[in-house]
């Protein structure tokens, strides 16, 4: 039994992480009489298991209730919350709740702004059979129901939540199309419907004026890249990967002037990579892999500034997830207050993205995204040479151009990429020698030029290049070096063209002139001999 005598002026009570257990009712009877001015109550990360909130009855001053990470299971009886008319935040994340009983209690939450119930076992919002009239309070600005077992079609009544800023329904079993009613969400800034079974096209009217983050990956959405976000100058993250979209990247892509993260992996796009991407000043993470893009890489990609500061995820938590399959392992967090007047609860939402780097799929979130820079154009049909201008991307951390049809040499300008941690040029048609200048890339952790037509000696095994093994070079029969157990004698090396000659794109003029002159003389002598023998 917790005794709370003499605390009548207490406004904030936190019992977080104390391994308290038993029934919530045992905390204290008549809590509202002993703590009449209580505004924030944090009971998270304990062992509470009883499914009733009756002990909260009468706490009319309560604004924030957090019970994340307990053992609440089954159907949750929310009786006792009817009088909490000042409640703004309700956090029930990371429990085993399957549904809510006495759902009419939610109707009394006229001030409720934030509802967090991610990582539960929710199959439906309520257990009652007749739920046709059920709706969340229209005052809600944030809804987080990620990682539950919700199914059926997306509720159309969500479109009536006119103040909704954040809608997170990922990792559920929703199906069907995105309701047209979502076009009424004019204040929407964060939309996450990823990892469901949604189909159909993205409504073209879904164009909130202040939208910043859009996550629709891992569905079955179809059609061309939508006009839904055309001219959305506030859009920071656009994640559509893993859908059934079609067509090409529209030339109006540069209208998204704030875009920092563009993830279009494996959505069946084709055509050329538009040069308009180079006009996006804030762009720092580009994933166009596993599509059918063709033609040369735009050399202007080397002009991207890849800024390390900007407006990507300010106001969200800092999380790093090891993989998309294990997002429960949180290594760090930092909550930022949503309001300055102190009576608005702290936001518990986070912005995170998943992309492939260092030969693995990683998910990053929060302020760590401010320093992540990547270009992934792998698994396409790109042709031509690697632009020399890519050497200007001094802040890039990962560059993947593997599984294309690129030709020519590896530009020595790549040695200027001092921040690069992963470079994958494997499975192309690259030729010539590997410049020894690449050993200057002292941040490199992953390096692969496997399965090309490279020749000559591999770079000296020093600094970071001393950590790479023969798998980085396999599939190049004319490469040599002690690591490959192959001597670099001239008799085993095919004629090669120097990097400088091929990067300049012009042959040795002296060799050309001599070859031409010799051929010309041979032709004249042959003609003279034939005419001498047979004048007719």
pLDDT at 239 exceeding the cut of 50: yes
Structure tokens at 49: 């298991």
pLDDT in tens, 481-501: 989 999 997 645 455 444 444
User: At residue 60, does pLDDT exceed 80?
Assistant: yes
Looking only at the bridges linking them, the beta strands covering 151-153 and 173-176 are parallel
The closest alpha carbon to 317, from 354, 367, 364, 355, belongs to 367
Containing 525, the helix (H) or strand (E) segment is: helix 509-533
Element of type H or E holding 176: strand 173-176
* Per-residue pLDDT at 383: 97
The candidate with the shortest Cα–Cα distance to 204, out of 176, 237, 232, is: 232
- CA 438, 443, 447, 452 torsion-angle sign: negative
Whose tokens are 């045992």? That residue is 26
Phi/psi for 229 (5° steps) reads: -110, 20
Summarised one tens digit per residue, pLDDT across range 354-381 is 766 666 666 666 565 666 789 999 999 9
Tens of pLDDT, residue by residue over 240-254, are 999 999 999 999 999
CA atoms within 13 Å, Cβ hemisphere of 151: 4
Within 13 Å, how many C-alpha atoms sit on residue 358's CB side? Answer: 12
CATH class, domain 1-140, is alpha beta
The pLDDT value recorded for residue 509 is 58
Nearest alpha carbon to residue 395 among 430, 428, 364, 419: 419
Please check the confidence at residue 316 and state whether its pLDDT lies above 90: no
Domain residue limits, the chain:
1-140, 406-505, 510-536
pLDDT tens digits, residue range 119-172? 999 987 654 444 444 567 888 999 999 999 999 999 998 999 999 999 999 999
This model's pTM is above 0.95: no
CATH class of 406-505: alpha beta
- Residues 6+ positions from 109 with CB-CB distance below 8 Å: 81, 84, 85, 87, 90, 137, 139
Candidate from 64-78, 284-298, 422-436, 507-521 with smallest mean pLDDT: 507-521
pLDDT for 14 equals: 92
For residue 229, what pLDDT is reported?
84
Report whether pLDDT(332) > 80. no
Q: How far apart are CA 328 and CA 323, in angstroms?
A: 9
1-140 and 406-505: identical CATH topology: yes
**Whats the size of the chain, residue-wise?**
536
Three-class SS state of 467: helix
- Check if the beta carbon of residue 209 is closer than 8 Å to that of residue 236: no
Sheet holding 173-176, edge to edge: 151-153, 173-176, 197-200, 220-224, 244-246
Q: Does position 353 have pLDDT exceeding 70, yes or no?
A: yes
């Amino acid at each position: 039994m917790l005794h709370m005598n003499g605390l009548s002026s207490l406004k904030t009570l936190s019992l977080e992480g104390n391994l308290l257990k038993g029934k919530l009712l045992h905390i204290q009877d008549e809590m509202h009489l002993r703590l009449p001015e209580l505004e924030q109550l944090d009971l998270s990360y304990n062992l509470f298991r009883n499914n009733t909130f009756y002990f909260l009855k009468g706490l009319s001053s309560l604004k924030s209730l957090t019970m994340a990470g307990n053992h609440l299971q089954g159907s949750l009886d929310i009786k006792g919350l009817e009088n909490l008319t000042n409640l703004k935040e309700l956090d029930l994340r990371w429990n085993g709740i399957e549904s809510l009983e006495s759902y009419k209690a939610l109707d009394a939450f006229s001030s409720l702004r934030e509802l967090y119930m991610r990582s539960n076992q929710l199959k439906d919002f309520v257990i009652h059979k007749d739920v046709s009239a059920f709706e969340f309070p229209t005052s809600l600005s944030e809804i987080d129901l990620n990682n539950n077992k919700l199914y059926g079609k997306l509720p159309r009544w969500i479109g009536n939540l006119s103040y909704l800023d954040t809608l997170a329904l990922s990792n559920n079993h929703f199906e069907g199309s995105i309701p047209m009613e979502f076009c009424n969400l004019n204040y929407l800034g964060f939309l996450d419907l990823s990892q469901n079974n949604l189909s159909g096209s993205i409504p073209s009217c879904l164009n909130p004026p202040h939208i910043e983050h859009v996550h629709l990956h891992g569905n079955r959405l179809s059609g061309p890249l939508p006009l839904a976000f055309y001219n959305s100058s506030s859009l920071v993250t656009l994640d559509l990967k893993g859908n059934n979209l079609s067509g090409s990247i529209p030339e109006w892509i540069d209208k998204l002037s704030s875009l920092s993260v563009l993830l279009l992996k494996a959505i069946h796009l084709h055509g050329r990579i538009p040069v308009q991407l180079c006009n996006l000043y804030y762009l720092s993470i580009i994933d166009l892999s596993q599509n059918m893009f063709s033609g040369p890489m735009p050399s202007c990609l080397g002009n991207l500034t890849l800024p390390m500061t900007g407006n990507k995820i300010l106001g969200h938590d800092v999380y790093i997830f090891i993989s998309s399959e294990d997002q429960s392992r949180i290594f760090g967090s930092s909550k930022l207050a949503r309001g300055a007047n102190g009576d608005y609860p702290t936001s518990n939402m986070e912005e995170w993205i998943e992309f492939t780097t260092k030969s693995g799929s990683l998910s990053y979130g929060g302020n760590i995204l401010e320093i992540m820079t990547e270009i992934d154009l792998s698994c396409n049909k790109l042709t031509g040479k690697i632009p020399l201008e890519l050497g200007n991307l001094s802040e890039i951390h990962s560059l993947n151009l593997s599984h294309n049809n690129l030709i020519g040499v590896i530009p020595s300008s790549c040695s200027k990429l001092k921040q690069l941690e992963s470079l994958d040029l494997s499975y192309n048609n690259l030729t010539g020698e590997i410049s020894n200048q690449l050993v200057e890339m002292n941040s490199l952790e992953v390096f692969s030029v496997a399965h090309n037509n490279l020749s000559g000696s591999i770079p000296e095994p020093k600094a970071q290049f001393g950590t790479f093994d023969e798998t980085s070079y396999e599939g190049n029969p004319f490469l040599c070096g002690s690591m490959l157990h192959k001597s670099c004698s001239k008799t085993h090396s095919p004629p090669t063209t120097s990097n400088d000659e091929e990067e300049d794109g012009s042959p040795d003029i002296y060799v050309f002139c001599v070859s031409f002159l010799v051929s010309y003389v041979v032709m004249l002598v042959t003609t003279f001999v034939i005419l001498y023998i047979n004048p007719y």
